[in-house]
Amino acid sequence: MTEEEIEKENAAITKAYKELLKVSYTTLTDDDKKLIRKAFEIALDGHKDQRRKSGEAYIFHPIAVAKIVAQEIGLDATSIAAALLHDVVEDSPDYEIADIENLFGKTVATIVDGLTKISSLSKEKDMDVSLQAENFRKMLLTLNDDVRVIIIKIADRLHNMQTMDSMRSDKQEKIASETLYIYAPLAHRIGLYNIKTKLEDLGLKYTDPDVYNDILFKIKESKEEQDLYIAQFSEVIKKSLDKENLAYTIKGRPKSIFSIRRKMLKQGVSFDEVYDKFAIRIIYASDPSTEKFLAWKIYSIVTDHFRPNPIRLRDWISSPKSTGYEALHITVMGPKGRWVEVQIRSERMNEIAEKGYAAHYKYKQEGEKEDSLEDWINKLQEALENPETNAVDFVEQFKLNLYSKEIFVFTPAGELKSLPKGATSLDFAFNIHTEVGMKTRGAKVNGKLVPLNHVLQSGDQVDILTSETAKPNPNWLDYATTARARSKIKSALREDKKRIAEEGKEILRRKLKQLKITVNEASINELVSFFKLKTSLDLFYRVGIGTIDNNMLKDYASSRSNALMSYIKSKISRKTTIKKEDIEKDEITTNYDSLVFGKEEEKLDYKLSSCCNPIPGDDVFGFLTVSEGIKVHKKTCPNALSLQSNYAYRIMQAKWIDSLQQEFSAQILITGIDHIGLVNDVTKVISENMHVNMKSISFESDGGLFSGKINVVVKNNTLLKKLLDKLKKINGIDKVTRQ
Say what the pLDDT of residue 296 is: 95
Question: How long, in residues, is the chain?
Answer: 739
pLDDT tens readout for residues 264-285: 888 888 887 777 777 899 999 9
Specify the 3-state DSSP secondary structure of 711.
Answer: strand
Q: Is the pLDDT of residue 199 over 90?
A: yes
For residue 126, the number of C-alpha atoms closer than 13 Å in the C-beta half-sphere is 13
pLDDT tens readout for residues 469-504: 888 888 888 889 887 888 888 888 888 888 888 888
Domain residue spans of the chain:
3-215, 222-362, 372-483, 492-572, 578-656, 664-738
Closest CA to 181 of 200, 164, 198, 157: 200
pLDDT tens readout for residues 105-116: 988 998 888 887
Q: Which CATH superfamily is domain 3-215 in?
A: Hypothetical protein af1432 (1.10.3210.10)
- 607-608/630-634 β-pairing: parallel
Mean pLDDT score, 440-461: 86
pLDDT tens readout for residues 78-87: 989 999 999 8
Confidence of residue 127 (pLDDT cuts 50, 70, 90): very low
More confident residue, 506 or 134: 506
Of 9, 56, 90, 463, the active-site residue reads 90
Mean pLDDT score, 631-636: 88
Residue 6 exposed, middle or buried by CB count within 10 Å (0-12, 13-18, 19+): exposed
For residue 162, the number of C-alpha atoms closer than 13 Å in the C-beta half-sphere is 14
Phi, psi of 411 (to 5 degrees): -80, 170
Mean pLDDT score, 158-169: 89
Mean pLDDT score, 693-707: 82
Q: Is the pLDDT of residue 440 over 60?
A: yes
- What class has domain 664-738? alpha beta
Say what the pLDDT of residue 565 is: 54
Do 344 and 330 form a contact (C-beta atoms < 8 A)? yes
Say what the pLDDT of residue 585 is: 35
Measured between alpha carbons, how far is 378 from 440 in angstroms, rounded to an integer? 23
Of 56, 91, 503, 681, the active-site residue reads 91
Lowest mean pLDDT among 318-332, 551-565, 678-692, 700-714: 551-565
Confidence of residue 392 (pLDDT cuts 50, 70, 90): low
- 314-315/328-333 β-pairing: antiparallel
Residue 405 DSSP class = P
What's the CATH architecture for 372-483?
Roll (3.10)
Measured between alpha carbons, how far is 170 from 653 in angstroms, rounded to an integer? 8
Mean pLDDT score, 192-218: 90
What global pTM score does this model have?
0.65
Measured between alpha carbons, how far is 101 from 568 in angstroms, rounded to an integer? 68
Measured between alpha carbons, how far is 587 from 581 in angstroms, rounded to an integer? 10
Domain 222-362 belongs to what topology? Beta Polymerase; domain 2 (3.30.460)
Measured between alpha carbons, how far is 216 from 257 in angstroms, rounded to an integer? 7
Say what the pLDDT of residue 646 is: 77
pLDDT tens readout for residues 548-604: 888 888 888 877 655 555 555 555 554 444 443 443 333 333 333 467 887 777 778
pLDDT tens readout for residues 373-385: 555 555 555 555 5
Which residues are paired to 284 by β-bridges?
248, 346
Say what the pLDDT of residue 246 is: 92
Closest CA to 356 of 335, 387, 326: 326
Closest CA to 84 of 111, 102, 106, 105: 111
Mean pLDDT score, 348-363: 74
Say what the pLDDT of residue 422 is: 85
Q: Is the pLDDT of residue 37 over 60?
A: yes
- CA 189 to each of CA 401, 539, 541: distance values in angstroms, whole numbers, following the listed order: 10, 42, 40
Q: Is the pLDDT of residue 537 over 70?
A: yes
- 440-445/416-420 β-pairing: unpaired
Sheet holding 651-656, edge to edge: 595-597, 651-656, 620-624, 630-634, 607-608
Say what the pLDDT of residue 139 is: 62
Closest CA to 210 of 158, 266, 257, 277: 257
Which residues are paired to 344 by β-bridges?
282, 328
Say what the pLDDT of residue 584 is: 34
More confident residue, 323 or 624: 624
178 is catalytic: no
Q: Enumerate residues 6+ apart whose C-beta is below 8 A from 175.
A: 160, 161, 164, 167, 206
Q: Is the pLDDT of residue 370 over 50?
A: no
Q: Is the pLDDT of residue 146 over 80?
A: no
Say what the pLDDT of residue 2 is: 78
Phi, psi of 407 (to 5 degrees): -125, 160
Residue 79 DSSP class = H
Average pLDDT, rounded, for the chain: 80
Amino acid (1-letter code) at residue 614: P
Closest CA to 72 of 202, 172, 229, 195: 195
Measured between alpha carbons, how far is 44 from 63 in angstroms, rounded to an integer? 10
Say what the pLDDT of residue 82 is: 93
Confidence of residue 157 (pLDDT cuts 50, 70, 90): very high
DSSP per-residue letters across 555-585: HHHHHHHHHHHHHHHHHHTHHHHHHHHHHHH
Amino acid (1-letter code) at residue 671: T
Helices (H), 467-573: 476-479, 483-514, 521-530, 536-545, 550-572
Percent of residues, the chain, with pLDDT higher than 70: 82
Q: Is the pLDDT of residue 41 over 90?
A: yes
Q: Is the pLDDT of residue 241 over 80?
A: yes
Mean pLDDT score, 319-347: 86
Torsion of CA 357, 358, 361, 362, to 10 degrees: -150
90 is catalytic: yes
Say what the pLDDT of residue 571 is: 52
Q: Which helix (H) or strand (E) holds 325?
A: none
Say what the pLDDT of residue 151 is: 85
Q: Which helix (H) or strand (E) holds 214?
A: helix 209-221
Measured between alpha carbons, how far is 163 from 159 in angstroms, rounded to an integer? 6
- 278-284/339-346 β-pairing: parallel
